[in-house]
């Protein structure tokens, strides 16, 4: 086993120093006293961050007193109290908050092992006075779509990585910890299959990479846009060019050193690196309040996109919005978004607009059609007699235009085609007539009209 440890208590091969000392792997330990602490934490929220914090402080204390956890907890209560108090005092000598954190961790260990006022008296450990912090007004700045796209076009030497990170955060709403925990296997299948939009899964096992990757252990999934997919592909090509073929368990957003990526998973991008990435991009994009831009505001920008009208002129269902944000849905509503609904939700997501230009909604199309009909042969009264245009089917709308606008009586040579085929048909001599509420276009061949 390697003997060198980092300042943070990690072995150089990525193993945490407390794991072999406390004989702990995940939520299991061979020490009975440590297992009781883990059971206590698991009964609460089973936070990976809390587990690491509590075990780290227990490890430091046991190393100081020269005893393993079971030996220490079997000592005389007076000895335990004095030893813990001395350790807490030393820990808080420079920073009172650090002392209070060590006190909370060791007190939880003692209570989990019976010193809770039941069979054994509570061992009281004195903490440090920590004055209330001054109230600081936090003013986040949520950049506009145009500003976010400017941010994605800037960056440091490894601009491809930064661009991919910014666009994925914006178009998926992922939390920064989730993005840092994202591994190649999470996107490989759909990325190689050319699926658009691309699904991004979020699941509790991500906490093995980053402890705050899956908030509340709530599994869900989101998607990323075509532009974000292109940025991700470019980043992965650059990454493979430096570290070789990607393994499925490689994290997508690594740390880097001397302009080169680091392959080892322990060199995943840190929280501070992610923060600097976003702030520097905001500064280079010319955002006046760049200092108030951080990763979480891109999640807020995603939330704003969810609240806007989509391409059909309507908003996503509120429950769908909450699911894509990773929020817990009440009752059994969570089951509605199971695997069988992925394709449906993908289609709903595809109607969202993350570009800098506004999406032409169904309402916009209908308003434009109404103006066009008024400009031809329809009067306001005749349009009112037609009723709500949005309720007409495509076939009914074509028939209406035939009778009045084109004067065809239904016998003219015309076609309803997708927007993408318009250019080809114009080159073949067809003429544009109108755009229908569903986005398709009516084309006619000149000379086919039977106007009286």
Q: Of 138-142, 178-182, 300-304, give the lowest mean pLDDT range.
A: 138-142
pLDDT digits (tens, 9 = 90+) for 79-121: 999 999 999 999 999 889 999 999 999 999 999 999 988 778 8
Q: Are 102 and 92 in contact (CB under 8 A)?
A: yes
Domains in the chain, ordered, with CATH? 1-136 (no CATH), 145-350 (1.10.443.10), 362-444 (no CATH)
pLDDT digits (tens, 9 = 90+) for 33-68: 999 999 999 988 778 888 989 999 999 999 999 999
Query: In 236-329, at which residue ranges do the beta strands (DSSP E only) sit?
Result: 256-257, 260-261
Asked if residue 134 has pLDDT above 80, the reply is no
Alpha helices, DSSP H, located in 211-361: 226-243, 271-284, 295-307, 318-324, 342-350
Give bridge partners of residue 434 from the DSSP assignment: 442
End-to-end CA distance of the chain, in Å?
94
Give bridge partners of residue 431 from the DSSP assignment: 444
pLDDT tier at 452, thresholds 50, 70, 90:
very low
pLDDT tier at 266, thresholds 50, 70, 90:
very low
More confident residue, 329 or 192: 192
Distance CA 403, CA 67 (A): 94
Asked if residue 450 has pLDDT above 70, the reply is no
CA-wise closest residue to 199 among 186, 208, 209: 186
pLDDT score, position 82: 96
Distance CA 50, CA 63 (A): 20
Q: Are 17 and 188 in contact (CB under 8 A)?
A: no
pLDDT score, position 136: 45
Distance CA 279, CA 150 (A): 13
219 CB burial (10 A radius; 0-12, 13-18, 19+): middle
DSSP state of 404: I
Look at the alpha carbons of 404, 409, 411, 415 in this order and tell me if their dihedral is positive or negative: positive
Tokens of 427: 């080159």
Compute the average pLDDT of residues 335-344: 70
Q: Of 182-186, 260-264, 447-451, give the lowest mean pLDDT range.
A: 447-451
Asked if residue 419 has pLDDT above 80, the reply is no
Asked if residue 294 has pLDDT above 90, the reply is yes
Asked if residue 3 has pLDDT above 60, the reply is no
The pTM of the full predicted model, rounded to 2 decimals, is 0.62
């Amino acid at each position: 086993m390697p003997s060198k440890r980092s300042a943070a208590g990690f072995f150089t091969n990525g193993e945490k120093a407390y794991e072999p000392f406390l004989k702990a792997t995940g939520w299991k330990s061979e020490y009975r006293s440590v297992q009781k602490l883990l059971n206590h934490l698991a009964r609460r929220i089973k936070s990976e961050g809390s587990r690491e914090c509590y075990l780290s402080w227990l490890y430091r204390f046991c190393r100081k007193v020269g005893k393993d956890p079971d030996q220490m907890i079997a000592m005389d209560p007076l000895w335990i109290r004095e030893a813990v108090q001395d350790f807490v005092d030393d820990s808080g000598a420079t920073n009172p908050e650090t002392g209070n954190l060590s006190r909370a961790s060791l007190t939880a260990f003692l209570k989990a092992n019976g010193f809770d006022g039941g069979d054994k008296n509570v061992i009281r450990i004195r903490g440090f006075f920590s004055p209330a912090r001054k109230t600081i007004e936090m003013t986040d700045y949520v950049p506009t779509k145009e500003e976010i796209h400017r941010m994605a076009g800037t960056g440091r030497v490894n601009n491809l990585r930064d661009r991919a990170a910014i666009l994925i955060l914006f178009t998926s709403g992922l939390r920064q910890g989730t993005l840092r925990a994202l591994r190649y296997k999470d996107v490989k299948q759909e990325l190689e299959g050319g699926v658009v939009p691309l699904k991004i899964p979020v699941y509790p096992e991500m906490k093995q990479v980053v402890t705050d990757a899956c908030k509340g252990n709530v599994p869900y999934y989101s998607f990323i846009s075509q532009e974000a997919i292109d940025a991700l592909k470019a980043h992965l090509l650059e990454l493979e060019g430096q570290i070789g073929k990607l393994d499925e368990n490689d994290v997508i957003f690594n740390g880097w050193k001397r302009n080169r990526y680091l392959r080892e998973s322990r060199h995943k991008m840190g929280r501070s690196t992610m923060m600097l990435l976003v702030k520097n991009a905001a500064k280079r994009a010319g955002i006046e309040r760049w200092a108030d831009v951080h990763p979480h505001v891109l999640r807020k920008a995603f939330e704003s996109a969810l609240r806007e009208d989509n391409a059909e002129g309507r908003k996503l269902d509120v429950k769908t919005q909450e699911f894509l944000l990773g929020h817990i849905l009440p009752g059994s509503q969570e089951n509605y978004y199971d695997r069988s609904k992925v394709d449906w939700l993908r289609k709903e997501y595809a109607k969202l607009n993350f570009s800098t230009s506004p999406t032409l909604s169904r309402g916009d199309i209908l308003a434009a059609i109404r103006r066009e009909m008024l400009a031809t042969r329809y009067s306001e009264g005749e349009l009112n007699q037609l009723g709500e245009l949005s309720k007409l089917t495509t076939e009914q709308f074509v028939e209406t235009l035939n009778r009045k606008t084109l004067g065809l009586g239904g016998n003219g040579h015309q076609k309803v085609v997708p927007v993408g085929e318009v250019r080809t048909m114009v080159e073949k001599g067809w003429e544009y007539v109108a755009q229908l509420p569903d986005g398709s276009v009516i084309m006619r061949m000149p000379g086919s009209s039977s106007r009286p």
